[in-house]
Amino acid sequence: MVERSYIYNRNHFRLDPDLPVVLDRFWPAWREHQKALDDFGDLVGRRVLPTLEVVDRQGGPVLVMHDVDGNRIDRAWLSPEHAALLQDLAWMNRPPYEGQPWQFHFALGYLLADPGLYCTLIVTNQTAYALHKYAPELARWKEDLLHGRAWGATWMTETHGGSDLGANKTIARKEGEVWRLYGDHKYFASNAGIADAAIVTARPEGARPGPKGLALFFVPRLDGQGRLNFRVRRFKEKLATRAVPTGEVEFPGSEAYLVGKPDWGIYITLETLTVSRLANAAGAMGLGHKARMEAVLRAQHRTAFGKRLEEHPLMRWDLVDMAVRQAGGLALVFRAVEAFQKAWHERPPYSPAYHYARFLSHLTKNRTADHAIAVTHRAMEVFGGLGFLEDYPIARLHREALVLSIWEGTSNIQALDLLEVMQRKQAHEPFVEEMTAHLEAAATREALLALDVLHKTLSTWFRLEGQAAQWVSKDMLTRLADVAQVALLYSLAEKGGERFAQLAALYARRFLAHEPYPEWAMKHLDLWRLAEE
């Protein structure tokens, strides 16, 4: 299978020129864990990618609804290699709960990148997160989730509401000492059939309507008597992410345990969504890096019109564009992770640091999804007609990227949430202060352009309210993220050298000024180079 790809059997950590510089800036202690990252990068190239290609081609997990005796079990049947791989990856959820920072987990998530496989891991992490902070009485479950003895899930979405969690109709009823869930099914239930337990939104009887009336519950697969506690209606056929089963789950009086206070349900849910949105962002840039590696190596191997592809100016434009997006998105991811690391222990009511972390998560989730889709698409084009064939893995990388702008909240949801945290919490104020400092220190034409865009974007928003503010919020979401990437790339130049200053200037020209890349970029091979293995 190695012949089908340039990046199989390659170490994905060693080929990355940007990750060490980004980690130096946002997690200086990473070198204490360099061997773990190096080993993980090797595992991804040697085992993860070939296994996932087989899973994708075979259609992924199969729903087995009954055992040999006819008892309802609703379990996902995984291939032995898929199941073994999950067990070997389970440890990557543990660092934040064992004294290491979230940067460690998300660096591993970036290297792993596959949205389907990472989804199984991150929803398990989200389940452990809720128990760790808000349900210490369920500590045994948390340990099982973190050590691969159990898998978790986060089930919120219902068919009539979609992203509108406040429309949830699932009801929680207190029956004696036990909570039970009844009502509508959860329509997009990732890890259905794999999950041994899930955290689930439901409205306690008599609670207020809307999102603030929701509580969060922990629901094991088996009840106290060992009986099946929730049912999986079916698995869905999907364009990609076939490594994770997505099903519809029913709650026919399911035994449940309240997580935290009843009126904290929406806040805990949003906290866990921040974890998954950061994972979405890290995975997006990791997926982009895989596609970029394929494209760069293709451009170095393939000859057309008497030259290697990388010698043609238009091909160099493609490679520069991928490198600029990749570096900018990666810097934004780890700045957002750094902010989350500083605030993740907080409970309601939250501090300004927590609201700033939320603010950055919305910028990051949205823009990195854009980058992943664009980079994987451009990499397909580098391969020409071969890129459109399922015979080669580059097509799968693009299919996998398409979900990243949708799940964990579409771009519209990210824009509305950004607007809310700005209007109610003024979370943009530390953003302006931080990015202004980076851009003023750089003092280049492009840095001053970014400053101008920052102030014009916010001044437009300040003049608007209501529907008019919503109308411009998605554009604002993108433009603020682009300003942040320019500023952060300039800040990385202190450790990463002139290359990052060049990438910052190119990002500003392309995405803020909407100018062509300047001719000098064509001559700088280091802008799109891969690191040496």
Question: Pairing between strand 178-182 and 171-175?
Answer: antiparallel
Last residue of some domain: 212, 245, 263? 263
CATH code (residue 241) = 2.40.110.20
Burial bucket for residue 173 (CB in 10 Å: 0-12, 13-18, 19+): middle
- CB–CB of 87/72 below 8 Å? no
Q: Which position has the token pair 């130096």?
A: 24
- CB–CB of 290/7 below 8 Å? yes
Inter-CA distances, 119 with 96, 125, 154, 207, Å: 17, 10, 10, 31
Q: What is the pTM of this model?
A: 0.97
Last residue of some domain: 242, 263, 284? 263
Domain assignment of residue 503, yes or no: yes
Domain assignment of residue 306, yes or no: no
| pLDDT(1) > 60 | no
Please choose, from the candidates 152, 161, 101, 106, the residue with its C-alpha nearest in 3D space to the C-alpha of residue 128.
152
The distance in angstroms from the start CA to the end CA of the chain is 20
Domain assignment of residue 236, yes or no: yes
Residue 474 is encoded by which pair of tokens? 């998605």
Domain assignment of residue 106, yes or no: no
Q: Is 304 helix (H, G, I), strand (E, B) or coil?
A: strand
Segment 342-372, tens digit of pLDDT: 999 999 999 999 999 999 999 999 999 999 9
**What is the H or E stretch that residue 218 is in?**
strand 215-220
- CB–CB of 200/181 below 8 Å? yes
Segment 183-240, tens digit of pLDDT: 868 999 999 999 999 999 999 999 999 999 999 999 999 999 999 999 999 999 999 9
Domain assignment of residue 430, yes or no: yes
**What's the rounded Cα separation, in Å, for the pair 257 and 28?**
40
Q: Is 25 helix (H, G, I), strand (E, B) or coil?
A: helix
Segment 400-454, tens digit of pLDDT: 999 999 999 999 999 999 999 999 999 999 999 999 999 999 999 999 999 999 9
Total tally of structural domains belonging to the chain: 2
- CB–CB of 14/41 below 8 Å? yes
- CB–CB of 55/79 below 8 Å? yes
Domain assignment of residue 269, yes or no: no
Facing residues of 180 across strands? Answer: 173, 255
Domain assignment of residue 520, yes or no: yes
Last residue of some domain: 263, 297, 329? 263
**What's the rounded Cα separation, in Å, for the pair 180 and 215?**
12
Domain assignment of residue 225, yes or no: yes
pLDDT at residue 354 in the model: 98
Which structural domain, as residue segments, surrounds residue 496? 411-527
Burial bucket for residue 529 (CB in 10 Å: 0-12, 13-18, 19+): middle
Segment 483-496, tens digit of pLDDT: 999 999 999 998 88
Q: Phi and psi (nearest 5°) for 439?
A: -75, -35
